[in-house]
Structures are given as C-alpha cells and as structure tokens.
A and B are shown apart, each in its own frame.
Chain A
Amino acid sequence: MESTADFWTSLFFPTLSLVGYIFLIIVPLLLAIAYLTYAERKVIAAMQLRIGPNVVGWFGLLQPFADGLKLLHKETIIPTRANPLIFLIAPLITFGLSLSAWAVIPFDLGLVISNINVGVLYLFAISSLGVYGVIIAGWASNSKYPFLGALRSAAQMVSYEVSIGLVIITVLLSVGSLNLTKIIEAQQRIWFIIPHLPMAVIFMVSALAETNRSPFDLPEAEAELVSGYNVEYSSMTFALFFLGEYANMILMSATGSILFLGGWLPPFGIIPFTWIPGIVWFALKIAFLLFIFLWARATFPRYRYDQLMHLGWKVFLPFSLIWVVLTAGFLFSFNMLPGK
C-alpha cells in the first residue's frame, strides 16, 4: 500500500500539475500567436495608411481564427518525389522547438516551470536547433526553391548565432550566473539596456535574422524563391511552420526582455509601478519588442545576401568581441566582477 501512495504523491500528482502548467503556458501562447498575426496586419496597414482586416468580427478581431480554419480545410499535399516521413517531421520540429523553449522562461519571481542552472544556454541550444526544421524541409521537399531557401537559412542562422552568443556572454559577465531568474534579479538597480545599449541593438537585429524576419527574410524571399523552404507545404504542415515562426518571434522578444529589459521588473521600484504585477510588465515588454519586429518589417527593404553576411561576420562579430573584452576589462579593473 505504501508504494501505491508513493506513486500517487511522488509521481502522478507532480506529473499532472506539470501537464497543467504546460497547458497554462501553451494556450495563452497560441492565443498570442493568433493575435500577433492580427497585430502584424493591423500595424503594417496603419503604417501604409490602409485599414487592414476589419470584416470578420468587431475590428476584424476574429480574423486569425477564420484564417486558421481556412488553413485546416485545405488538403495536405505531399509531393510524389518527396521523402514523406522527413517531409512531415520538419514542421513538427519547428513548432515543437518553438514551444519547448518556454519551459525555462520565468514570467514572475518563481513563476517558471523549470528553473534550471543553465537557463540561458538552454534557450541558446533550442534556438540553434531551430535551423533543422528549415533545412530538413528544404531537403525533403526535393524541389529547387525550397532547397535554395534552406541553404540560405542554414548559413544565415549559423552566422547570427555567433553574435547572439557573444551578446549573451556580455550579459553573463555582468550577472555571474546562467540562471534566467538571477539574470533578471541582477537588473534590480539598472536594466542592462542602459550599460549594454549597443549589445541590445545587436541582439535585436540578430533576433530578426535568427527568426528569418524581414529585412532578413531571405530564406523565404518571395521575389526570388517563391516562398523559400515552405513552398511545397500546405494546410496543417504549413500552419505549423507559420505558427512556429511567430512563436519564435515571441520567444526572441521574451529572451530580449529578460536579458536587457529586466523581465518582470517594473521600470522604477516605486509605488505606482509596483502595484502592477510582474507578469503584466513582462507581457508589456514582450509586446514592445514584438512591435519593433513589425515596425522593421514595414520600414526596411530586404537585405541582399552578401550584405547580410557582411553585417554578421564583419560588423557584428568584431564589435561584440570588442564589447566582451571591454566589459570584462571594466568589471575586472573596478573590481566589480559578480560572484566575488
């Protein structure tokens, strides 16, 4: 009898509550993705002096659901010369990875599924795996435009990961821990965007490149590659790529607000600001960074491929390396290194 009680208390209930937490994250996340697509269309419409979606529901608020239902009604087409198993795995990888990273994101003090020691590295590892969805999709489609898109994407994501890694290192130098909660708590006095402003800019631009968003959306440059790596995908398989891309945007914004904007911390630790709960501040910061994603899309023309590589390797990499050395030297010479 004791072992059954043990089974219930130590295995069953924890697993059940974990599943509950996962749903508590995934359901709002999917809603956020749906309304991010709506926000994108509305924001770009406003910037181009149009109205945007306004027919389905009040102010077009039901438009994302109409789009989703339309996508699901379509037929899933698997090209005859494609490799069906790998072809279907690719969107699953993209979408699954974009959800799994949320396990370590702290929404408020203690409001996190898994508070691991190496939280930043976990995020970095998951985002470095994101390239596989694209590259496998391009190969498995057995078609030339997807393949070209996949090759571009692989080169682009590997290049910009380097500078994101160095940006993360500068933040880690100032915190002394890889734990995301500790990174946010280290910003009690000052958000890292103020001492590390150039790194925050580099992070934001690299995040655009990492999520294949305009002006770095070369993998799906419709003028050259039709739609890039997802040309052959339709219906649900396409929807998973689409949702994965938007989930990655939200994830990158969350990472950016944790690293530079102080996560759940209010801008000033005084009374009217501290009344608002931390999760609201976190959501507001994510929304602001997402607005920058949309703003960039409405503003900049697409980069040329050689310009993209030039920016990644010859501008961002040396500059962030110098900044790492500067930060380390500054902290060391003023004896401000954390953990001393």
Chain B
Amino acid sequence: MIATDLILFYLFSIVLLGAAVFVVTSRNTVHSVLFLILAFLNAAGLFILAHAEFLAMILVVVYVGAVAVLFLFVVMMLNVEYGDLKEMKKRYSLMGGLVGGVLALELVVMMYTWKSSPEAFDLTSSPNSLYKGVPNTQAIGNLLYTHYALIFQGAGVILLIAMIGAIVLTLRQREGVRKQKVGNQIAREAKDSVRLVDIPSGSGI
C-alpha cells in the first residue's frame, strides 16, 4: 500500500505543479482560472494523502467552491484585451525579473538556514501532541475554539470589518427605486383596494 501512496503523491504533485505553470503561462485568463482550480483539487488530494481530510474538504469547499467561482465570475465578465505580447514583454520583463530574482534568492537563503524540529515528523500525523489518535477535525476544532478562541474571534472580526468596508465602498443609494414589501402585500385587503362607485351616466369619476 506504501507504493500506491507514493505513486499517488507523485501523480498529484506533478499535476499540481503542471497546472500551476499553466496558470501563469496560459494566455486566456479563463483557462488560467480553470488550471488554478485543477491545482486546488490536487492540493486537496495531497492533504488527503497526509491524513488531513478536514483541510482537504475545506480547501475544496472554500477555495474551489466559493473563491474560484468568484474569480471565474469576474474573469468571464471582464473583456480582457490580450494586447501585444512583445510590447508587454519589453515593459515588464525588467521589473518582473527583478522581483522574481529577489524572491528566488530569498528562497535559496531560507533553504540553507532551515532546520526542521525533531518532532516535525510526528506533527504531520496530528497537529498537536495533545491530540494523538483523535480525528483531525476534532483536533483542529479543539485548537481553534478552545486554546486560541480569542485570536480566532479576532480574525473573524477583521474579516467582518473588511467585508463592511467593501460594502460601504460600493454601496450607492438610488432614488426612486421601488422595492417589493412582502408584509404590505400580505396585509392588503379587499376593503383597502376596491371601492364601488356609482357613476351617473354621462360623466366620469
């Protein structure tokens, strides 16, 4: 069974990396988003191989099911001008190369000074030594809601503020918009809306 795990690991990793490359290189932005989704799904597969099934499912639900849908939504609505590739290359290659080079340098420096802790291997199977033999859903729940409840709530408040900010920035109130009020419609009765009028012949109401 170890062999199948290994084969699956390399399969997921290769597809993940390949998809990541295509996200950057494909010229059609919608294709980029689709490759990004493929990359997310393979990352979820890697999580499952690492026995982190809760993280895998949350990755699919949140990133693939919601965030990437919004990405796709926006990218489809935008009419992207593909422009002249050569001219783009000229304009961005120096700056892009510089940023990429600095990042690569930092990664190399990190790699040489990185020391993994001796317990790191045990931590891969359970996030905290307190939670040995407990399903990782329960372990994550315990950590987030018992030990780090305040920090977790703080993160939630920050996200709420961000959401309110986005709504305030884009909300515009228009005059003269008629909205459906269900309560009024239900409360409406025949005696409020219908009246009988005797019209003398030859004249209007």
The reply to whether A118 and B73 form a contact with Cβ atoms under 8 Å apart is: no
Q: A11-B4, A132-B37, A135-B72 are in contact. Are A158 and B57 (CB under 8 A)?
A: no
Contacts of B69 in A (CB 8 A): 131-132, 135, 154, 158
User: Is the C-beta of A35 less than 8 angstroms from some C-beta in chain B?
Assistant: no
A178 & B137 in contact (Cβ 8 Å cutoff) = yes
The answer, yes or no, to whether A307 is at the interface (CB within 8 Å) is yes
- Cβ < 8 Å to B, chain A residues 3-48: 10-11
Contact B135 A117 (CB under 8 A): yes
Indicate whether A151 reaches chain B with its CB closer than 8 angstroms. Answer: yes
Chain B 56-89 interface mask (CB, 8 Å, partner A; 1/0): 0110110011100110110011000000000000
How does the 8 Å CB contact mask read for A118-130 relative to B, with 1 for contact and 0 for none?
1001101100110
Tell which of A117, A158, A306 has the most Cβ of chain B within 10 Å: A117
Contacts of A306 in B (CB 8 A): 180
Residues on the B chain within 8 Å of A279, using CB? none
CA of A161 to CA of B65, assembled, Å: 9
Cβ–Cβ contact B61 & A124, under 8 A: yes
Question: Nearest Cβ distance between residue A83 and chain B, in whole angstroms?
Answer: 8
Q: Is A113 an interface residue (CB 8 A)?
A: no
Interface residues of A in 136-183 (CB under 8 A from B): 136, 139, 147, 151, 154, 158, 161, 178
> Which chain B residues border A310 with CB–CB below 8 Å?
180
B73 touches A121 (CB 8 A): no
- Give B75's nearest chain A residue, CB to CB: A139
Q: Tell whether, in the assembled complex, residue B72 and residue A128 are in contact, meaning their CB atoms are under 8 Å apart.
A: no
Q: Are B64 and A129 in contact (CB under 8 A)?
A: yes
Report A-chain residues with C-beta under 8 Å of the C-beta of B54. 117-118, 121
CB-based contact A128/B60 at 8 Å: yes
- On whether the beta carbons of B58 and A154 are closer than 8 Å, the reply is no
Known: A121-B58, A139-B76. A128 touches B53 (CB 8 A): no
Q: How many whole Å from A94's CB to the nearest CB in chain B?
A: 15
- Partner of B64 from the list A117, A128, A136, A339 (CB cut-off 8 Å) is A128
Pair B180/A116 contact, Cβ less than 8 Å: no
Do A117 and B4 touch (CB < 8 A)? no
Asked whether any CB of chain A lies closer than 8 Å to the CB of B34, the reply is yes
Verify A154–B73 contact, CB threshold 8 A: yes
Tell me the complex Cα distance, A131–B71, Å.
Answer: 13
Looking at B30, B69, B135, B180, the one whose CB has the most chain A CB atoms below 10 A away is B69
- B137 contacts A117, CB within 8 Å? yes
B168 in contact (CB, < 8 A)? no
CA distance A136 to B64 in the complex (A): 14
Judge if B158 is at the interface, Cβ distance under 8 Å. no
Q: CB of B205 within 8 A of chain A?
A: no
- Name the distance in Å between B77's Cβ and chain A's nearest Cβ: 8
Q: Which residue of B lies closest to A307 (CB)?
A: B180
Q: A139-B76, A154-B69 are in contact. Are A121 and B61 (CB under 8 A)?
A: yes
A118–B65 touching, CB < 8 Å: no
B53 and A117: CB pair below 8 A?
A: yes
B141 CB, min distance to chain A CBs, angstroms: 10
Is the CB of B1 closer than 8 A to any CB of chain A? yes
For the complex, give the distance between the alpha carbons of A94 and B76 in Å. 19
From residue B1, how far is it (CB to closest CB) to chain A in Å? Answer: 7
Cα(A11)–Cα(B76), bound, Å: 44
Give the A-binding residues of B (Cβ under 8 A): 1, 4, 30, 34, 37, 53-54, 57-58, 60-61, 64-66, 69-70, 72-73, 76-77, 135, 137-138, 180
A-B contact pairs, 29 of them (CB 8 A): A10-B1, A86-B34, A117-B53, A117-B135, A117-B137, A118-B54, A118-B57, A121-B54, A121-B58, A124-B61, A125-B57, A125-B65, A128-B60, A128-B66, A129-B64, A129-B65, A132-B37, A132-B69, A135-B69, A135-B76, A139-B72, A154-B69, A154-B72, A158-B66, A158-B69, A158-B70, A161-B66, A306-B180, A310-B180
The chain A residues found within 8 Å of chain B, CB to CB, are 10-11, 86, 116-118, 121-122, 124-125, 128-129, 131-132, 135-136, 139, 147, 151, 154, 158, 161, 178, 306-307, 310, 339
Given pairs A121-B58, A139-B72, A310-B180, 13 additional interface contacts (CB within 8 A) = A11-B4, A117-B137, A121-B54, A122-B57, A124-B57, A131-B65, A132-B69, A135-B76, A147-B76, A154-B69, A158-B65, A158-B66, A158-B69
